[in-house]
Chain A
Amino acid sequence: MPRFFYQKLALNNLKKNSQTYRAYLLTCIGTICMYFIMHAISVNEALNQMSGGTELKVLLFFGVIVIAIFSTIFLLYTNSFLIKRRKKEFGLFNILGMEKRHLAKIMFWETLFIALLGLTVGIISGMILSKLMFLVLLKLIAFNVPLAFEIPFSSISTSVALFGGIFALSLFYNLGQIQLAKPIELLRSEQMGEREPKTKWLLILIGAISLGAGYYIALITESPLQAFSRFFLAVLLVMVGTYSLFTAGSVGILKLLRSNKEFYYQPRHFTAISGLLFRMKQNAVGLANICILSTAVLVTLSTTFALYVGVEDQLRNRFPRSIEIKVYDVENVDVGTIRSQAFSILEQHDLQPQESVDFRDLTITVAQEGDSFLVGREYFSDFSPNVGFLSFLNLADYQRIVNKPLSLEEDEIILCSDNSYPYETLTVLERTFTVKDHSAPFTGHLDSFNNYSVIVKDLEILEELRQAQAKVYGESASSFTHYLGFELDSSPKQELEIYEEMRASIGAPPISIKSRAAERDSFYMLYGGLFFIGIFLGTLFVMGTVLIIYYKQITEGYDDQKRFAIMQQVGMGQEEVKKTIRSQVLMVFFLPLVTAGIHILFAFKMITRLLMVFNLTNVQLFAWCCLGTFVVFALFYGLVYSLTARVYYKIVSV
């Protein structure tokens, strides 16, 4: 046997199948490169030097895991496609006298070549790009100190190990495929007769119900915490719905169309309906995959994008004032001293407190049931959707803040709730209050959702409430807190200095001080990091989608080749054939995209509620982000379509 026989044969095979292997190799390089970059950044020593760097590392590590999982799935999927196409080739080798162990040798060399090329190019491009990506990440998390970036050796070794493992797995899969098959089956494997798909009414019903239920949940969910707990259920339902409707529903509709004879026996409909009917059988799962992936890309990108763009909004919602000082033990700490100490620090910086808010309150943990607020452990767990806080203030403090004379009766309250509380009364701790004003313009010290600031007549009522809840909660009961908050008209840098000085002089327990400027970094760190991962995963998902589409097109091309020829012989014009196939392919192609768009539309409200948990309340911003991502994605999708369509025509018109 000539030297390097198997190696040469393997190389030759790859060259011969370059139309399909080129895309596979590109995907290998792409996934390896992305994995490498993410890993290199996540383990980088430089991140340890910044505050919040460890949290960011955890986030990035999560990204590494997701990339690893998806790379495995994508590459194995692609490989299974490739080997299916090549069974005939191997069958021929087998019949020409090659034993299966010879085939195994060829396959081994092929995989080795692909692996070497993929790993080398992937890791080298990863090395080049990781530095750039690191700078992008630093830019996104608004970190301005230049950091050295070194390429960690562990990134190379884990990339080689992970992707080496994936290549080994695909090789084993391929060997199994060859081992199991008889040569004649290998030769024929692509032309096995196909049965007409049956209409599965039960599956259609299940699909319709779960899709409807998923959409319904998404639409009726009002409270952010509810959205949090129901989101995964809704996602699951929609996924089940998508898969079953794509597989069974499409067949059902097409069969219904076919049973309408007048409609069916028209040149345009005739070939399209029957072609789609069979095509849906082979491709429904693939199309549903594309649809789910596209939806995932769109949701990931638009939410992380919105969170990142809206980071200042969130900061303002979470920290309504530049500096917030909370005194927890008002009995033993003189609030007046604290206040004057704080203000004197401001004076040293030539600053005045602005929009200063100064009050004493009692915050009680409650579970809301309509207009009554239940107090007690037994009414809620940590993640109950109806759990919230009531912050009680007395009228005197409130009048001072809003600078307006107001009066309240013993059983009257003012509720600061931006109109989200529809009831006329409020019952808590066996007292029922009449709500005199539902929408007092006041932001206390709590987040916006599920929490209300309640103004009562005087300190006596506050004290009664305090004693009542102390009986229920015992050890963990709340006591009075004094809150002092104000805006500062200064640079973030100066704000940070003031915050540090205040913390040094008065910031010891039971006093806590928070500064918006100090939190800004961690916000950017979190949301910048999330956005970074979002872009990465988005790109990965898009790559996966593109790949599935590409291979789908090629498979269909080979299937249509014969059909195309027959129809021409029977008397269909070349232009007509092209038109029919195009409209058919177009429909198959854009069905997942349109469905993904519909999913997003229904999910929109629920996602806005979810974003509220992250203090992002700007619905309009999110809408723009969604639209933007969708348009970009659709453009990309269309581009891929036209590129693959060209390959497809090349195959078909042979």
Chain B
Amino acid sequence: MHILEVNNLKKVYTTRFGSHKVQALSNVSFSVEKGEYVAIMGESGSGKTTLLNILAALDKPTSGEVLLNGKNLAEISEREISAFRRDNLGFVFQDFNLLDTFSIQDNIFLPLVLAGESHLEMNKRLLPIARQLGITPIINKYPYEVSGGEKQRAAVARALITRPQLVLADEPTGALDSKATASLLRLFTEINEQGQTILMVTHSTQAAAHAKRVLFIKDGEVFHQLYKTSLSTEEMYQKISDTLTTIATGGERHA
């Protein structure tokens, strides 16, 4: 079953007086199955972030449609969009986006509080997630008191606590050192194995090598895709590298 369906997505940015038009996405189509772990790769300016913003319903496409669980995002009213985002999507950002006025625990609770959950329920959900992510000891600290890796794990906990249909991760390893990166990627694989659907945007080959499928975007289009199937992460890494070289040297389209 498709959990996410993206059809002929196009996004054109226009400057205020319409004199300049920049095409960020020209024609993007793909779909994500339930329980999949998909990485989207592309260079800076390839339209990755635009795509993610549209998937997150933070931006609207010029044309085309996005279906989440069969529901067209464009049909959700402005009023319901926040609640929809809160209930169905979990976000992990490159720079964590934790609020420094909240403790780690309260940061994780934030979406639940907004959803009006009871304090008891929040605690019940937090315990297993915190244990799995290994953040139980720092739960009462503040973001500025913990390391980058811990911050990112807290952000993952915040994304997971609402039990979302889809976790959207935007360069999640971008601000982490190699050790923290490795541990986060292991964590993503682990979560995915428990059934969580993940869509990750990255230009880190290492990160993408952990995904089950990698989509390459170039000039606003899906240029190519790779399936990991039975490959090891190292083999996948090699394959992605090759593909990137091909793209960079101007290879033909394969998607």
Q: Which A positions have Cβ atoms within 8 angstroms of B? A: 193-196, 261-262, 265-267, 270, 274-275, 277-278, 563, 566-574, 576
Contacts and interface: CB of A to CB of B under 8 A. Distances in A.
B99 A574 contact: no
A194 B100 contact: yes
Given A566-B99, A576-B114, 14 more contacts: A194-B100, A266-B113, A266-B116, A274-B102, A275-B101, A568-B58, A569-B56, A570-B110, A570-B111, A571-B82, A571-B86, A571-B87, A571-B111, A573-B82
- Among B81, B85, B113, B116, residue most surrounded by chain A Cβ atoms (within 10 Å): B113
B254 interface: no
Nearest to A196: B142
Tell me the dominant secondary structure on chain B's binding face: helix
Contacts of B143: 193
Interface string B122-145: 100000000000000000001111
B119 interface: yes
Given A571-B114, A572-B114, A566 B97 contact: yes
B169 to A, nearest CB: 13
B83 interface: yes
17 contacts: A193-B143, A265-B109, A265-B122, A266-B113, A267-B114, A274-B106, A275-B101, A278-B100, A566-B99, A569-B97, A570-B114, A571-B111, A571-B115, A571-B162, A572-B82, A573-B79, A574-B82
A265 B113 contact: yes
A195 B103 CA distance: 11
B82 A569 contact: no
A569 B93 contact: yes
B2 to A, nearest CB: 23
Contacts of A574: 82
A596 to B, nearest CB: 28
Contact of A274 (B91, B101, B158, B162): B101
Interface of B: 56, 58, 79, 81-83, 85-87, 89, 91, 93, 97-102, 106, 109-111, 113-116, 118-119, 122, 142-145, 158, 162
Contacts of B122: 265
B158 A570 contact: yes
Given A267-B114, A274-B102, A275-B101, A569 B91 contact: yes
Contact of B101 (A261, A265, A563): A563
A188 to B, nearest CB: 13
A265 B144 CA distance: 22
Contact of A265 (B81, B111, B119): B119
Contacts of B110: 270, 567, 570
B142 A568 contact: no
Contacts of B116: 266-267
A196 B99 CA distance: 12
A228 to B, nearest CB: 47
- Among A195, A261, A570, residue most surrounded by chain B Cβ atoms (within 10 Å): A570
A654 to B, nearest CB: 14
A455 to B, nearest CB: 73
A455 B109 CA distance: 81
B51 to A, nearest CB: 16
B144 A194 contact: yes
Nearest to B98: A566
B82 A277 contact: no
Nearest to A577: B82
